[in-house]
Structure 1
Amino acid sequence: MNETIICAVGNVATQPVFRELATGSSARFRLAVTSRYLDREKNEWTDGHTNFFTVWAKRQLAANVSGSLTVGDPVIVQGRLKVRSEVRDGQNWTSADLEAVAIGHDLTRGTSAFRRTGRPEAGAATTARQQPEPDWATPPGDPEAVPAQQMAEPAAVT
């Protein structure tokens, strides 16, 4: 089956809405994608037309979206494009939806701290595969030792 897969780079325009449905988790938000161009008369970059997409995420992606994204975040969304046309109250409406496959922060515009989500326990088989935590401590007297306050986790990026 042929599908239109696109990659859209833009900003989260609405707060993601998370729902737990009978068919699984679902989240949606609006994505604003604004083109930019160099205005040669003014010799400066200018905003062009803004396209809005409704982004839909399912299952684990939906849960991660609701815990990770907020209005204004620069993101990259890859997904299936679905353009719908309908008539509402005598007016023709067209909307563009993205059924997301992957969503991430746009790291050209800032930093992000990634955290893995926990998997549901599958029993003793899962525990048997767990490896012991490696010893990351720097041996005493190491000339390349970094002071403990520099090794602390960075502050959360807003």
Structure 2
Amino acid sequence: MSDHISLVGNVVGELERRTTRDGGPVASFRLAVGERRLDRERNEWVDGHTSFYAISAFGELGANALLSLRKGERVVVTGRLRLREWENETTRGVSADVVADSVGHDLRWGTTRFVRTPRPDTADKGGSDDGSARGTEQMDTERAVVDGWAVPGAETETPAGDDRVRDAVAVGGGAPPVEGPF
């Protein structure tokens, strides 16, 4: 039996790539979940207790997390909580481990772009998971050109004169910052 939990916090450190016995990808990272409240007497924000969780994401979720998440980013994690007791020569303790069911950026603090990964069962057949006849080679080409900017009906070419998109894709940084009033 496991307890389901939803957490919102910051990624602590870089993600670690591991593999299962059968070679499947696993992304491991620590998540800091802090309490913050407004002290009305002093009219300032005060940090409270911070809890740390060890997060493991398996399979495609793990592979996508490795490509998407970076140290310091604010994320939302849902999964199964497992409390693990441990002991070494000098101390004993309990560790809070979470096997993630889903992971995503907290959009309250920034923006992100979604890029669908092709499903393995449709990639071999030359189709895509949306039922179209478009092959994976075309999908990979589109993703390489715009990485995160490809949405249905959108142009697949980098906007003229906007090198930020090309540069962000080249270094794996995703979409460039959005400018303008909102």
Normalised by the length of structure 2, the TM-score is 0.69
Unaligned runs of 5+ in 2: 135-151, 166-174
What number of residue pairs does the alignment pair up?
Answer: 145
In structure 2, relative to structure 1, the CA distance for the partners of 1:48 and 1:71 (3 Å cut) is same
Matched residues in 2 for 1:28 and 1:76: separation?
15
Could you tell me the percent identity over the aligned residues?
40
Spell out the pairing of 1:124-139 with structure 2 (5 A cutoff): 126=127, 129-130=131-132
- What's the C-alpha RMSD, in Å, of the aligned pairs? 2.9
Matched residues in 1 for 2:154 and 2:86: separation?
59
Matched residues in 2 for 1:135 and 1:74: separation?
30
In structure 2, relative to structure 1, the CA distance for the partners of 1:5 and 1:105 (3 Å cut) is same
CA contact (8 A) 1:77 1:100 kept: yes
Measured after TM superposition, the shift of residue 47 of structure 1 is 1.0
Unaligned runs of 5+ in 1: 138-147
Measured after TM superposition, the shift of residue 9 of structure 1 is 0.3
Query: Which protein is bigger by CA-based radius of gyration?
Result: 1
Measured after TM superposition, the shift of residue 20 of structure 1 is 3.0
Structure 1 residue runs of 4 or more that deviate by more than 4 Å after TM superposition = 134-137
Normalised by the length of structure 1, the TM-score is 0.79
- Residue 59 of structure 1 is matched in structure 2 by 59
SS at match of 1:64: helix
More helix by share: 2
Matched residues in 1 for 2:49 and 2:76: separation?
18
Matched residues in 2 for 1:58 and 1:7: separation?
17
